[in-house]
Structure 1
Amino acid sequence: MTEIAPDAGFNENTKLKDALLQHRAMSKDGFSERLFGYLFSGLVYAQIWEDPDVDMEAMELSEGHSIVTIASGGCNMLAYLSRSPSRIDVVDLNPNHVALNRLKLAAFKHLPDHQSVVRHLSTEGDSANSTLFDRHISPHLDPVTRDYWNGRTITGRRRISAFNHNFYRTGLLGRFIWIGHMLARLHGVNMGDMVKSRSMREQRHFFDTQIAPLFDKPFIRFLTSRKSSLFGLGIPPQQYDELASLSDDGTVAPVLRHRLEKLACYFPLKDNYFAWQAFARRYPKPDEGTLPTYLKAEHYPAIRSGVDRVTVHHASVTELLATKPAGSVDRYVVLDAQDWMNDRQLNELWSEITRTATSDARVIFRTAAEISILDGRLSDSLLSQWTYRREQSETLNRKDRSAIYGGFHIYEKNA
């Protein structure tokens, strides 16, 4: 699990290339894969877009559990610490996410108090955050991570200065959301007005009258018929095909409309920080709503005390699990990574999951489409060792506030 510099390009990141590239370079699909890989080689997610409260309920996470999870923006890994697991191994193929996760862990451990953590990780427009980083965080980072955050962007500013403004407007997804807002403005809609809603009825009215009609606009339908249009969401070509298969016209516009409807209308805004990021491009203020689980004051002591139980690896889940002894992992969180995989990669992953799983282990994951990706693809010898908790999966999928995915899935090891 060799480290790689976070600002290395896609061609230098052999781990990401091995996971993503499945077609010849000169083919149409091969070009799409390489374009996505180029975009995905930078920081993609400043915030993870899977609901950690749903994760923890699905895992029945409790004190003493050993967890392996994909990193992404790091929010969920920190939320899991609120349940006092014995160990969390965090993996990611994107070294920028590795650097972000290590920064967030160091912030919890070395910033003076909870207020400082919230200011550094969620407050926009606070120029003191760079000073807090230099004084409290930077001395405790490994050299590669320290150099990354002290490094300069194309504007000449240090990367860490993004926390002086609004860090969640950076990264590939942050810029994609900005483009979405600009497209809506060109059609006369201010997406930010959604957060002025004072009830779920008002949320529904705004969606039906302002947002939903956008998906019938010719230019937006044209854009969403291109695979590259969703690369900014971190959706690779394989996932686009899954989404397009769900609609009658072969485009993802109807699917995106439905997912955005759930985000906008199914949960009160005050309880859904995912909606605030989508529509206001920031977290709510204290009088507007709640922060992510890992930033709530009641969880701060447990998270701070548990930081040293976390190790962040630049690796794939399969690669990490191959180093672990049999029967040593209780819970696995693989996000939507399996949507990227071919059958060989999928079976290799589950071979290692099955080998390392404890007798009551659970695996949770999400999919672009509604059905589990394992059916018809995972070998019978592996699948027969697990039970799919279908009813619980469907119930918790309805509770997922991020509303990004079609399916949420829970598998439990057979005793």
Structure 2
Amino acid sequence: MSELARNAGYGQNERLKSALLQHRALSLDGLSERLFGLLFSGLVYPQIWEDPAIDIEAMELAPGHRLVTIGSGGCNMLAYLACRPERIDVVDLNPHHIALNRLKLAAFRHMPSHADVVRFLGGDNMGSNREAYQLFLEPRLDAQTRDYWNGRDLTARRRIDVFNRNIYRTGLLGRFILLGHIVARLHGLDPRDFVKCGSMREQRQFFDTRIAPLFDRPLIRWITSRKASLYGLGIPPQQFDELASVSDDNSLAPVLRQRLEKLACHFPLKDNYFAWQAFARRYPSKYEGRMPDYLLGENYAAIRDNAERVDVHHASFTELLASKSAASVDRFVLLDAQDWMNDDQLNALWTEISRTATPGARVIFRTAAEASVVEGKVSQNLLDLWHYEHERSSALGMRDRSAIYGAFHIYRKKP
């Protein structure tokens, strides 16, 4: 059995457990953390939900840069390759994400054409994808990744068979979106109707008249007041109370309504594949809208030619940085991982970031709430080494098409 398979479960994944568990097992907080960890022990994000166009602009990513990023679903790492960086180190505590990142890289390296990559990674009900995997990818994968995808899931089906259907309907987030669709249909709304909108005016009308009223329904307010019901969005127990504090009934309904409004109304549907996943549970066809950045034809050659510059590590961000020499990293992409961390973990992380950062290096991350999670928690001596680009962070955050985060943050290393 490969290392990926051995560490696939929460009980065996000591790195994930050490990152999540901060309270005693028999306390309410401890039970919430363990349930969150159990749910996060499987595939969580088949698609990453951070906008890579915003990341690239914020980082001013250019050839020669050396990046360290959290992997998640792997989409953004691939989009970064279009900028031809010198090196990307991908880290993740979830072995399912490790296997997915390695498979996506292999698809670019070994599939015969751009069309084959799009069918495999962006298709919906493509029954030939298993055969494409066996012909082009399986012989070229490392043993651990091959064992993972040839292995069986909880329903006894081979994991690779998910690409014959639609991998983006699976994983914790995919099932959370399905639950949202079921609840909406119980209230007389089919979210798939949203993608029939032909203009931003129609998008606004659809949201105001059909979606927004749902957030006042008792069932939805009750569901969104339960911490565990929102774990599928990646909202850890530590963040729930802060976000729910804006509501009289301890519900996240107002927050979710606001963020869904941004997703539905602030960007043309044809340009926002995140909205397509949320409302249609698939990517648009080439006649309907824009595919994810890493699947665009204009980026294919650069991603294919630079895929060998990526190394994928089953490790924490801090752990990987500790193995690097001083001033050896130009860009750091933390996603929303710091929302999960306590003060000690944050300080350990920023100690290594500050040690390994080159002058002018940039750190980017997102937070579920609006405030930067490092302020007041990370040592001021460390933060004094960095400049927080507050106005630029706010401006770019407003343009993030994924729309699910409270804020976007950029820190730049002082000379």
TM-score (norm 2): 0.98
Contact 2:111 2:117 in 1 (8 A): yes
* Alignment partner of 1:300 is 2:300: yes
Equivalent runs, 1:393-412 vs 2, <5 Å: 393-412=393-412
Shift in CA distance, 339/246, structure 1 to aligned 2, threshold 3 Å:
farther
* Alignment partner of 1:284 is 2:284: yes
Aligned to 2:5, what secondary structure does the other structure show?
coil
Q: Report what 1:352 is aligned to.
A: 352
1:360 deviates by 1.1
1:154 deviates by 3.0
Q: Equivalents in 2 of 1:339, 1:3: separation in Å?
A: 28
* Residue type of the alignment partner of 1:321: L
* Alignment partner of 1:325 is 2:325: yes
* Alignment partner of 1:204 is 2:204: yes
1:228 deviates by 0.3
Q: Report what 1:53 is aligned to.
A: 53
* Alignment partner of 1:14 is 2:6: no
Q: Equivalents in 2 of 1:217, 1:314: separation in Å?
A: 42
* Residue type of the alignment partner of 1:20: L
* Residue type of the alignment partner of 1:377: K
Shift in CA distance, 349/337, structure 1 to aligned 2, threshold 3 Å:
same
1:334-392 Cα offsets, whole Å, 9 max, x none, are: 00000000000000000000000001100000001111111111111100000000010
Contact 2:47 2:168 in 1 (8 A): yes
Contact 2:333 2:364 in 1 (8 A): yes
Contact 1:129 1:163 in 2 (8 A): yes
* Residue type of the alignment partner of 1:316: S
Equivalent runs, 1:15-414 vs 2, <5 Å: 15-414=15-414
1:7 deviates by 6.2
1:167 deviates by 1.1
Q: Equivalents in 1 of 2:7, 2:353: separation in Å?
A: 31
Contact 1:242 1:368 in 2 (8 A): no
* Residue type of the alignment partner of 1:237: P
Unaligned runs of 5+ in 1: none
Shift in CA distance, 279/6, structure 1 to aligned 2, threshold 3 Å:
farther
* Residue type of the alignment partner of 1:19: A
The worse-fitting range, judged by mean Cα deviation, of 242-251 and 283-292 is 242-251
Contact 2:8 2:94 in 1 (8 A): no
Q: Equivalents in 1 of 2:242, 2:40: separation in Å?
A: 19
Aligned to 1:83, what secondary structure does the other structure show?
coil
1:90-145 Cα offsets, whole Å, 9 max, x none, are: 00000000000000000000000100000000111111100110011111111111
Q: Equivalents in 1 of 2:82, 2:312: separation in Å?
A: 18
Q: Equivalents in 1 of 2:46, 2:6: separation in Å?
A: 14
Contact 1:50 1:402 in 2 (8 A): yes
* Residue type of the alignment partner of 1:216: D
Q: Equivalents in 2 of 1:258, 1:63: separation in Å?
A: 37
1:248 deviates by 4.6
1:296 deviates by 0.3
**Matched residues, number:** 414
Contact 1:7 1:42 in 2 (8 A): no
Contact 1:3 1:314 in 2 (8 A): no
1:243 deviates by 1.7
The worse-fitting range, judged by mean Cα deviation, of 96-105 and 124-133 is 124-133
Aligned to 1:5, what secondary structure does the other structure show?
helix
1:242 deviates by 2.9
1:3 deviates by 4.6
Q: Equivalents in 2 of 1:220, 1:132: separation in Å?
A: 42
Q: Equivalents in 1 of 2:144, 2:221: separation in Å?
A: 43
Q: Equivalents in 2 of 1:154, 1:252: separation in Å?
A: 31
* Residue type of the alignment partner of 1:295: L
Contact 2:4 2:145 in 1 (8 A): no
Contact 2:59 2:364 in 1 (8 A): yes
1:246 deviates by 3.9
Q: Equivalents in 2 of 1:229, 1:109: separation in Å?
A: 39
Contact 1:6 1:99 in 2 (8 A): no
**What is the root-mean-square deviation in Å for CA atoms of aligned residues?**
1.1
Shift in CA distance, 3/243, structure 1 to aligned 2, threshold 3 Å:
farther
* Residue type of the alignment partner of 2:54: V
Q: Equivalents in 2 of 1:99, 1:320: separation in Å?
A: 18
Q: Percent identity?
A: 67
1:6 deviates by 6.5
* Residue type of the alignment partner of 1:274: F
Contact 1:168 1:281 in 2 (8 A): yes
Aligned to 1:214, what secondary structure does the other structure show?
helix
Unaligned runs of 5+ in 2: none
Contact 1:47 1:75 in 2 (8 A): yes
* Residue type of the alignment partner of 1:105: L
Contact 2:269 2:289 in 1 (8 A): yes
1:227-252 Cα offsets, whole Å, 9 max, x none, are: 00101122211122232134454321
Aligned to 2:173, what secondary structure does the other structure show?
helix
* Residue type of the alignment partner of 2:38: Y
Contact 1:126 1:164 in 2 (8 A): yes
